[in-house]
Chain A
Amino acid sequence: MGNLKQDLLVARDPEFTWEDEESLATCKSKYNGAKALLDMLEKEGVELIFGYPGGVLLTLYDALLDSSIKHILPRHEQSAVHAADAYARVSGKVGVCLATSGPGAANMVTGIANAYMDSVPLVVLTGQVPTHLLGTDSFQEVDITGMTLPITKHSYLVKDANDIPRIVKEAFYLASTGRPGPVLIDLPKDVMAAEVTSSCPEKVHLPSYKYFSKGNAGQIIEAAKAISQSKKPVVYAGGGVITSAAGPSLRQLIEKLNLPVVTTLMGIGSIPSSHPNLLGMVGMHGTVTANLAVNDCDLLIAIGVRFDDRVTSGLKHRFATKAKVIHIDIDPAEIGKVVRANIPIVGDARLVLEDLLPKVQVPETSAWWNQLRAWQRKYPLRYEQNGHLNPQMILEALGQIGGEHAIVTTDVGQHQMWAAQFYPVKVPRHFITSAGLGTMGFGFPAAIGAQFAKPDSLVFLVTGDGSFQMSIQELATTVQYNLPIKIILMNNGVLGMVRQLQKMFYNERFNQIQLHANPNFVKVAEAYGVKGLRVDKPEEVEPALITAIDYPGPFLLDFTISPDEVVLPMVPSGKVITEVLGGED
């Protein structure tokens, strides 16, 4: 039998010898690639990684037993990336995730794209088949560096174990500096077993990689002049404000100059939701006032934004046409990509705002504010209170009961937009959502990552019955690590956002939006050992939320809402703000 086994192994891998197996055993004692990798992660300050083991990672998982790094085991590789993504968004640190070669790595692709679109610093580690099998379509082989080229900031396929210290150091540097993003390191099995004699380089040597920090002084003076002379200025703040911790500087600026602010979905939390200068979110489901303000302003001060088509309706030539545009962004390629900038400033938002602050004079904006306040009175964010359980009502109650330090993660769809509109976010890094990619299934693993980043914080997952079922297996993870996540499930039995679009723009020709065979979510939760409660009536909302929050472990609240609820206001894709639906009182 021994010979048969050997023959089979040789058939699969012609270079296999029994010495390989022995050398794998002895390599445990030497300082190998796996140990060097973990040492470097420790040096970079990594405390935990989200991963899922597999064949080519055995050496690494063996070394992990002797490492200080904590390993979290979600129930899907995609969840590992999403969890690391949210961990990074909440903590401001680099998130680290790990998956095996082939299907493990391929399952991470969506998560990597998600982090790339929202500029989240990640180091993604993937196992790979041994170097001598690369390119032979061997078992569990995919070209993951090739597959992820367009969705990583950079990537490495390690061929020599002695490169590991340098590559890991570079990866963390690249992921976290400039415009952050995911960096992938592909680690062949033999490289992790090979001896490492190199040491960690003192400095990163990347001659071709540059990023800007301070903005050009002349441009900042130009911007200061334009702001001081403007009559109808609007600040358009995005995720870059949060990434660069520019919130306090932005607040100083808008308070000193009494400037109105709109935020993107990614910019929620950059300014507390209760701030009187905040007009709300801009774009497709933004407030009418925010959109009218951008449409009518004479100066658009865009900070850490990329003029996404969910903001501009994809109409770059009809967006903010009356305005001069100041565009502050750390990525030079974002400037002029969609909308021309009259005053481009490439740099870190916080540093640019700090330089700008002492140079600006208060513009005369009282007439503008009168107009803005009139719009706010005419077009408030509102919803019909019809005695039924409204999603908006749940989010408002959640905001009141949760307190300002609660972290909310969302999935994607109607519930996400309602949360963006109605949940009062007070602090940066407390509203975690898949904005650029719009990944259903993101919310639950994101809540797990958020809870690990802030173990003492209250974490809410706001999700829908469609999105939740894309990551429902993570109920097991919350139980295994006793994560007291509160799941706010808005259950309408349909794919609500698609239904809304079919209702509004396809003559109610509904197709593939019914989730007929939905399970009893409370029972599913209970099967995993998670507490659950179904809520059908408005008066049950508050007591249910209090019960869930007071319970020391994970808790699922299954809120029954009507499939006819829609997200309003809405600027249909390809339309300008004047064609907004459902805005007027």
Chain B
Amino acid sequence: MRHTLAVLVENNPGVLARISGLFSRRAYNIHSLAVCQTENPSLSIMTIVVEGDSQVIEQVTKQLHKLVVVHKVTNLSNEAVVDRELALIRVKVKQETRLEILQTVDIFRGRVVDLGRNSLTIELTGDEDKIDAFVRTMKTYGILELVRTGKIAIARSES
């Protein structure tokens, strides 16, 4: 099963190496990792999607806690969260497919951010499933290039 961990870490050089080194050394499987500075410039937040059963996730969490640079580890899979991913996709276009593609982009609430003679670049945000679905649709037209940020997530506020 996939778990999403929010890991609050010190914003120092070498911190990413400590975290990724821990995952590789102990053979934990990272599905995706997104990292950026928080509102406090001395801290960064990593959203790590990791594969494993509950025992593995417990070990991952404990081992992360042991790193001096790690302030907090939250397993977001146990909480109500909003999660998003951003994808940029360059798709092959021809005269006859252009309209169809633009309509699909519209349905998925994506945006065209760049336009070439034979290609379109589309920006899309959403959860993983939505992006997966869009990517599948675009495959029929031919994907030239694809980049995804990996998941970022935040706990929902209490209502």
Contact = CB atoms under 8 A, between A and B. Distances in A.
A149 B62 contact: no
B59 A208 contact: no
B59 A333 contact: yes
Contacts of B14: 145-146, 157
Contacts of B22: 150
B88 interface: no
B68 A146 contact: no
A149 B68 contact: no
Given A149-B17, A150-B21, A157-B14, A209 B59 contact: no
A174 interface: yes
Interface in A364-416: none
A337 B22 CA distance: 15
A553 interface: no
Contacts of B55: 336
A176 to B, nearest CB: 14
Contact of B68 (A208, A333, A336): A208
B65 interface: yes
B10 A208 contact: yes
B58 interface: yes
Given A154-B68, A207-B71, A208-B10, A149 B59 contact: no
Given A150-B25, A208-B10, A337 B68 contact: no
Contact of A333 (B10, B63, B71): B63
Residue of A153, A157, A333, A337 contacting most chain B CB atoms (<10 Å): A333
A195 interface: no
B33 interface: no
Nearest to A337: B59
Interface in B1-58: 10, 14, 17-18, 21-22, 25, 55, 58
B21 A333 contact: no
Interface in A134-148: 145-146
Contact of A149 (B21, B66, B71): B21
Q: Which of A154, A206, A208, A332 has the most CB of B within 10 A?
A: A208
A332 B61 CA distance: 10
Contacts of B63: 333
A149 B13 CA distance: 13
A77 interface: no
A336 B59 contact: yes
Nearest to B62: A333
B contact residues, range: 10 to 19
Nearest to A149: B21
A138 B62 CA distance: 38
A149 B58 CA distance: 22
A146 B21 CA distance: 10
B18 A149 contact: yes
Nearest to A178: B66
A333 to B, nearest CB: 4
A331 interface: yes
Nearest to B63: A333
Nearest to B21: A149
A329 to B, nearest CB: 11
B81 to A, nearest CB: 23
Interface in A209-237: 209
Contacts of A209: 68
B71 to A, nearest CB: 4
Given A332-B62, A333-B62, A208 B71 contact: yes
Contacts of B138: none
B101 interface: no
Nearest to B68: A154
A479 to B, nearest CB: 41
B152 interface: no
A168 to B, nearest CB: 15
A170 to B, nearest CB: 9
Contacts of A337: 59
Contacts of B59: 333, 336-337
Interface string B71-91: 110000000000000000000
A213 B73 CA distance: 21
A296 to B, nearest CB: 26
Nearest to A174: B68
A575 B62 CA distance: 30
B112 interface: no
A333 B69 contact: no
Given A145-B14, A149-B17, A150-B21, A206 B68 contact: yes
A33 B22 CA distance: 32
B17 A333 contact: no
B93 interface: no
A180 to B, nearest CB: 13
Given A207-B71, A208-B10, A208-B71, A333 B66 contact: yes
Interface in A35-74: none
Contacts of B25: 150
B153 interface: no
A341 B58 CA distance: 13
Contacts of B17: 146, 149
Given A149-B21, A332-B65, 13 more contacts: A146-B17, A149-B18, A150-B21, A153-B68, A157-B14, A174-B68, A207-B71, A208-B68, A208-B69, A208-B71, A331-B66, A333-B59, A336-B58
10 contacts: A149-B17, A157-B14, A207-B71, A208-B10, A208-B71, A208-B72, A209-B68, A333-B66, A336-B55, A337-B59
Interface of A: 145-146, 149-150, 153-154, 157, 174, 206-209, 331-333, 336-337
